[in-house]
Structure 1
Amino acid sequence: MNKRILILSSMMVGIGFHLVAQDKKLPNIVFILADDLGYGDLSYLNEKGKIKTPNLDRMAENGVVFNDAHSSSAVSTPSRYGILTGRYNWRSTLKNGVLGWYDKPLIAGDRTTMASMLRNQGYHTACIGKWHLGMNFPTKDGEKPVDTPDAYNLDFSKEITGGPCDVGFEYFFGVDAPNYPPYCFIENRHTMGMPDFYYPLSKEMDSRPGRGLANWKMEEILPALEEKAVTYITQAASNEDPFFLYIPLTSPHTPIVPTDEFADQSKLNKYADFVMQSDAVVGNIMKALADNNIADNTIIVFTSDNGCSPQADFKLLAEKGHNPSYIFRGMKSDLFEGGHHIPCIVSWPSEINHHRVDQTISLIDFMATFACITGYELSDDEAEDSYNILPLLIQADYKPKIREATVYHSIRGDFTICKGDWKLLLSPSSGGWSFPKPGNDDELIKTLPSIQLYNMKDDPAETNNVYAEYPEIVNELKALMTKYVKEGRSTPGIPQKNDGPEVWRQLSWMK
């Protein structure tokens, strides 16, 4: 299929770019989302890192590396919602935390997603990996799913609805989450096999109780996803239409289960071994694209849904000289940079050359970017927080700021907003699992200022709260955050409504 694609020319018109049309086949898009991978876990990004990631290093050496990329949330479900909708996660009905096992779908059926948008543009769309955005799991009595040793009402002879195949993906293979039941693969709208064997809670695997297939092996999940992705690429390469392949990996999230091939390969711990296995998966996906002669006109995005989890064992890794959060404070779940400052590399050999970008971007920006590349015109109720970052990909020295400001969110639903060098945390605590931790350090938190302001240029480790010295900056950022909440968007356009209540607990600072 020969379509017309908008490519940014190198000629400047005023302070912007001139868009020109060229006859060219639309690029394939492969979006690889690691799970709980820290910025400092890539050897290309961390000069002191102890984990070797040669395939991602090679991708970085030939692609665009974003030094200041962020997930919209510091935890899984909301971050994935933001990527696929181009909308801040807290605009959904989920105001804090993540979805649990057997929870209802978070993405509304009428919401435009990255997949439905690209499908509209002629792409074949597939999701292979971890979903974690909820599904309608069928039950025998029509009631809420029950899965205990003594009670069970799920009926997997029926279709599972509300998942990937109902929000724009034509094909799905994967799991809801690797540590959630049902412990089996799901293909499209059905489980592969009948999950009727009960597994108790496992602290070792960080897995929840529930049913699955007998003899289900956690360490076989990632290799199966890799094999399915490679097979999909090989089959899609022979088709005329372009494809969009979303690959949300199950690694290096718990259960941390590297295969025998990668056991002790890092000489650090199992988490580091699992990171190395994840790197190998990316290498094999890139090889599949090259083997099928489609690498040049395929966009690959590699990133992570949030920062590194404490399950990686920060203390042990630190003793061996490795910090998954690099120079940043905090970890997965936090308002601090370690929670949401993530690796992000983009490869598109036929169109972009290697360079590094210092501008702040959010993972929600890829929806508007793909819309621009494929000629899709976003309406006011689509991708309300997504900015087109194509200029940053195409031109190494592009100077105009693309984002006005960027919002991040913690597991508790607390907010932080960053504009330029300034970052305002609308909370006295980490908002997550690191010190000062709500629920653990509450007496100390009561003595702290209710807000935090950091100059990220001078203080990237967020050690010096200067809120009292710059009240005008505090007021400016708080007013901008209020505007973003009330208008239901942060991009230009007609104001929209947030899902759920107009005011919720974590907006107490707006008073």
Structure 2
Amino acid sequence: MALTLLFLLNVGLLCSGAASPPNFVLLFADDLGFGDLGCYGHPTSLTPNLDRLAAGGLRFTDFYCTSPVCSPSRASLLTGRYQTRSGIYPGVLYPGSIGGLPLNETTIAEVLKPQGYATAAMGKWHLGFGANGMFLPTNQGFDQYLGIPYSHDMGPCWNLTCFPPDVKCFGLCDVGTVAVPLMYNKVIKEQPVNFLTLEKAYSDFATDFITTSAQKKQPFFLYYPSHHTHYPQYAGAAAAGKSLRGPYGDALLEFDNTIGNLLTTLEKTGVINNTLIFFTSDNGPELMRMSRGGIAGPLKCGKGTTYEGGMREPAIAYWPGVIRRGVTHEIASTLDILPTIANLAGAKLPEVMLDGADMTDILLNQGKSKKETMMFYPTDPSEMYSMFALRLGKYKAHFYTRGATHSGTTPDKDCPVFAVLKAHDPPLLFDLETDPSENYPISATQRPDLQELLKQIQKVKEQFEATMVFGESQISKGTDVNLEPCCNPQCSPKPSCCHC
């Protein structure tokens, strides 16, 4: 209670211009499973800085992303809207994709800019490149951007053997594929990017941004969607071979080291006590990669599926002196981050249909969530099938189930791509409090008391679907090789000449 009163006093001072607005650091891991962090129970993960955030902050047990693959999940995070509204479906964007996150969508950065915030993004964007870089972060509210505009496996040979000091890739899979670029704002700095030095570049960029903002006494928003721990993993000299989990663990350690550098910078500049740090992941682990794909802990399946393992994520909120350390079992999601940041910054919400809810009471009081529902869309949502599953309170109803290539190799027959689309009427029902692994469906015929619950679930589903207007699919616009980023656009022959 005392912390809440202190925060409310600060808000009052802020409104009168006597206190500084809070800063925000948003950390977004890639393909990280619910069971991959030490603070979530992994016995050998080396993540001391994330563990520090969890020990001193609020750890979520029931936090969700909105899609089990990258691009749509990122769109929802930044806009507070399901990807079906913005059109980031089906699947993900590619280097030559014609579409991208529509410029009329409002991102967290664009919400904060009118409040005088400095904004920066570094890392994996994956929301489009487009003609002349029209979909890059600097056109979406960010003052600065350093990073790779799409997934780092979208280079020659999928970058499976392109990480130095490995053998350089060669052969037919090189043909027709542009090398992965490192961009600063809209300018290509390296092509191909040097993955051994990439994380240091990010750390230096973040240090400069935070330090400059602190010196100017300007509030800031830093968004870091990391490439770690997406397959194929990489790590520089400071982390390679240093973990007990092989390449996956090394990549996770390198990500954690950067988080440690961020914390050090926040402390040195004296702004850490006025900064909310929020960490989560875009989707579940890519189980088809086995030990190099991450794990979902006790949850069912992983990336590509709408089971819990594909969409329930680790999440941590850290704000010294404001957020009490503890654990919350309230339902929350990436959709809630935009309205929460807007409230804390005193910013106006976008005048569009938002799907997120303000989490301030959860963060400051460990209070109740403003919502008790979560919708689960597949990688290829459509108006014909709509959502695949819905969570209401502790119950989850699956209207459709399907496996995915990303979740292959597991012994669970429901996870691989061979588990074809199956409709369930009545829906497949699970109690996630007693059965988070979704192993034991509840029979409504044996539990007459659940009939009313099923009616309520159906009502919530119908009410939500009545509000859902599918945006034009940006990914279905296709690709154009001429749009792929090239540091020497007039060179020939492409794409092999795109090196600098």
TM-score range, shorter chain: 0.7 to 0.9
Unaligned runs of at least 5 residues, structure 2: 155-177, 382-386, 408-412, 477-500
Summarize deviations over 1:396-446 as a string: whole Å, max 9, x none.
3x2x4411311122324352211111111221334664342575234xx66
1:342 match: 313
Q: Give secondary structure in 2 for the equivalent of 1:87.
A: coil
Letter in 1 for 2:35: G
Q: Give secondary structure in 2 for the equivalent of 1:359.
A: coil
Matched, 1:121 2:115: yes
1:481 match: 461
2:437 match: 461
Q: Give secondary structure in 2 for the equivalent of 1:169.
A: coil
Unaligned runs of at least 5 residues, structure 1: 1-6, 12-16, 139-159, 194-211, 318-322, 489-496, 505-511
Matched, 1:187 2:164: no
Aligned partners of 2:279 and 2:76: how far apart in 1? 16
Relative to 1, partners in 2 of residues 1:33 and 1:313: Cα closer, same or farther, differing over 3 Å?
A: same
Q: Is the 8 A contact 1:129 1:175 kept in 2?
A: yes
Q: Is the 8 A contact 2:389 2:396 kept in 1?
A: yes
Q: Is the 8 A contact 2:30 2:283 kept in 1?
A: yes
Q: Which of 360, 364, 367 in structure 2 is aligned with 1:390?
A: 360
Aligned partners of 1:20 and 1:187: how far apart in 2? 35
Aligned partners of 1:81 and 1:272: how far apart in 2? 27
Letter in 2 for 1:392: I
Relative to 1, partners in 2 of residues 1:411 and 1:219: Cα closer, same or farther, differing over 3 Å?
A: farther
Aligned partners of 2:39 and 2:304: how far apart in 1? 24
Matches of residues 446-457 of structure 1 in structure 2 within 5 Å? 451-457=427-433
Q: Is the 8 A contact 1:454 1:467 kept in 2?
A: no
Letter in 1 for 2:470: N
Aligned partners of 2:143 and 2:223: how far apart in 1? 11
Q: Which of 309, 316, 329 in structure 1 is aligned with 2:286?
A: 309
TM-aligned CA deviation for residue 449 of structure 1: 6.5
TM-aligned CA deviation for residue 471 of structure 1: 4.3
Higher helix share: 2
Aligned partners of 2:443 and 2:349: how far apart in 1? 38
Aligned partners of 1:295 and 1:20: how far apart in 2? 17
Relative to 1, partners in 2 of residues 1:354 and 1:129: Cα closer, same or farther, differing over 3 Å?
A: same
Overall identity of the aligned pairs, in %: 27
Relative to 1, partners in 2 of residues 1:9 and 1:104: Cα closer, same or farther, differing over 3 Å?
A: farther
Q: Give secondary structure in 1 for the equivalent of 2:68.
A: coil
Q: Give secondary structure in 2 for the equivalent of 1:376.
A: coil
Matched, 1:265 2:256: no
1:201 match: none
Aligned partners of 1:258 and 1:455: how far apart in 2? 40
Give the TM-score normalised by the residue count of structure 1: 0.78
Summarize deviations over 1:101-160 as a string: whole Å, max 9, x none.
22134322122211100011110111111100002144xxxxxxxxxxxxxxxxxxxxx2
Matches of residues 163-312 of structure 1 in structure 2 within 5 Å? 163-177=136-150, 178-180=152-154, 181-192=178-189, 212-213=191-192, 216-310=193-287, 312=289
Matched, 1:498 2:489: no
Q: Give secondary structure in 2 for the equivalent of 1:333.
A: coil
Q: Give secondary structure in 1 for the equivalent of 2:329.
A: strand
Relative to 1, partners in 2 of residues 1:19 and 1:58: Cα closer, same or farther, differing over 3 Å?
A: closer
Q: CA RMSD in A?
A: 2.7
TM-aligned CA deviation for residue 450 of structure 1: 7.6
TM-aligned CA deviation for residue 175 of structure 1: 0.7
Q: Determine which structure has greater relative contact order: mean sequence separation of CA pairs < 8 Å that are 6+ residues apart, divided by chain length.
A: 2
Matched, 1:65 2:35: no
Q: Is the 8 A contact 1:75 1:332 kept in 2?
A: yes
1:324 match: 295
Q: Give secondary structure in 1 for the equivalent of 2:332.
A: strand
TM-aligned CA deviation for residue 375 of structure 1: 1.4
TM-aligned CA deviation for residue 395 of structure 1: 0.9
Using the TM superposition, name which of 373-382 and 429-438 deviates more.
429-438
Aligned partners of 1:459 and 1:98: how far apart in 2? 31
User: What number of residue pairs does the alignment pair up?
Assistant: 430
Q: Is the 8 A contact 2:26 2:222 kept in 1?
A: yes
Letter in 2 for 1:500: E
Relative to 1, partners in 2 of residues 1:461 and 1:370: Cα closer, same or farther, differing over 3 Å?
A: same
Letter in 2 for 1:89: Q
TM-aligned CA deviation for residue 292 of structure 1: 1.3
Aligned partners of 1:479 and 1:81: how far apart in 2? 27
1:418 match: 391
2:418 match: 440
Aligned partners of 1:277 and 1:227: how far apart in 2? 14
Matched, 1:54 2:22: no
Relative to 1, partners in 2 of residues 1:263 and 1:449: Cα closer, same or farther, differing over 3 Å?
A: farther
Aligned partners of 1:467 and 1:101: how far apart in 2? 46
Q: Give secondary structure in 1 for the equivalent of 2:251.
A: helix
TM-aligned CA deviation for residue 264 of structure 1: 2.6
Relative to 1, partners in 2 of residues 1:57 and 1:259: Cα closer, same or farther, differing over 3 Å?
A: same
Matched, 1:44 2:39: yes
Letter in 1 for 2:40: L
1:427 match: 400
Aligned partners of 1:22 and 1:310: how far apart in 2? 49
Summarize deviations over 1:3-55 as a string: whole Å, max 9, x none.
xxxx95489xxxxx999623321011111111111121111111x53212111
Aligned partners of 2:458 and 2:472: how far apart in 1? 22
TM-aligned CA deviation for residue 480 of structure 1: 1.4
Relative to 1, partners in 2 of residues 1:376 and 1:446: Cα closer, same or farther, differing over 3 Å?
A: closer
Q: Which of 2, 12, 37 in structure 2 is aligned with 1:21?
A: 12
Relative to 1, partners in 2 of residues 1:483 and 1:127: Cα closer, same or farther, differing over 3 Å?
A: same
